[in-house]
């Protein structure tokens, strides 16, 4: 009993101290020094390797800015400020190391079949040495073999057909001696057309197997 009383007393004391702490006046608020420097976060639209230029939509808390001119930039400061031109010096200063670390861009090859079988056309057969070369020129080459179909037939059947084509081409390039870090075989079915067509349209250029060396 005495022991319990003592324990109770200790608990009360600890609680009182804790409550005392909790009700102590808060420390005076720290006022941050006003930041006068210009914002340093920004984004720059660049031309693609083929010379074309895409678009960027930059949105912040206060609106959205669309960039569509090469080398146009905008600050990432939450405001929808006016785009400006970013000169070569600033690009090299801020992005020199990032630009230098760019791996070789992926290279794609299109292979086509002779009608009604798994034999490549002569033109496609002739591309095989170039595919092997590309694999040698890319660090840790990972290669994808993707089968595509035209829009004849339904979506599910075309996904299967694309996969069958991809598998047969993968066998051909493996036999030719392709050395890779990773190989993926997949099908895009009729969802990634080279030539845009309506549904149920035969189009030889869409019936292809695309090999990409990354």
Interface residues toward another protein, by CB under 8 A: 39-49, 53-60, 76-78, 91, 94-106, 138-140, 142, 144, 159, 162, 181-182, 184, 186-189, 191-192, 212, 214
Residue number, 47 or 123, with CB nearest to another protein: 47
- Give the nearest distance from C-beta 84 to another protein in angstroms: 14
> Is 118 in contact with 164 (CB distance < 8 Å)?
no
Interstrand relation of 182-189 and 142-148 (parallel, antiparallel or unpaired):
parallel
Q: Which residue has tokens 């420097």?
A: 37
Residue number, 23 or 41, with CB nearest to another protein: 41
Alpha-carbon separation of residue 155 from 5, 133, 166, 188 (angstroms): 79, 35, 17, 10
Residue number, 80 or 132, with CB nearest to another protein: 80
Give the CA count within 13 Å in the CB-facing half-sphere of 55: 5
In terms of Cα–Cα distance, which of 66, 50, 46 is closest to 58? 66
Residue number, 103 or 198, with CB nearest to another protein: 103
- Give the nearest distance from C-beta 27 to another protein in angstroms: 26
- Give the nearest distance from C-beta 173 to another protein in angstroms: 18
């Amino acid at each position: 009993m005495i022991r319990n009383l003592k324990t109770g007393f200790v608990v009360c004391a600890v609680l009182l101290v804790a409550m005392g702490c909790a009700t102590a006046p808060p420390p005076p608020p720290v006022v941050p020094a006003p930041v006068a420097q210009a914002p340093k976060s920004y984004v720059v639209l660049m031309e693609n390797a083929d010379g074309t230029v895409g678009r960027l939509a930059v949105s912040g808390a206060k609106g959205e800015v669309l960039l569509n001119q090469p080398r146009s930039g905008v600050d990432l400061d939450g405001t929808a400020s006016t785009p400006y031109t970013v000169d070569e010096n600033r690009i090299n200063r801020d992005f020199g190391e990032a630009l230098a670390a760019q791996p070789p861009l992926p290279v794609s090859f299109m292979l086509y079949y002779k009608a009604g079988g798994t034999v490549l056309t002569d033109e496609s057969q002739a591309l095989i040495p170039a595919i092997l070369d590309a694999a040698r020129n890319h660090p840790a080459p990972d290669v994808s073999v993707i089968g595509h179909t035209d829009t004849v037939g339904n979506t599910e059947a075309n996904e299967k057909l694309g996969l069958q084509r991809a598998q047969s081409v993968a066998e051909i390039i493996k036999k030719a001696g392709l050395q890779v870090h990773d190989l993926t075989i997949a099908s895009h079915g009729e969802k990634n057309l080279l030539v845009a067509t309506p549904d149920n349209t035969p189009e030889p250029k869409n019936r292809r197997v695309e090999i990409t060396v990354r």
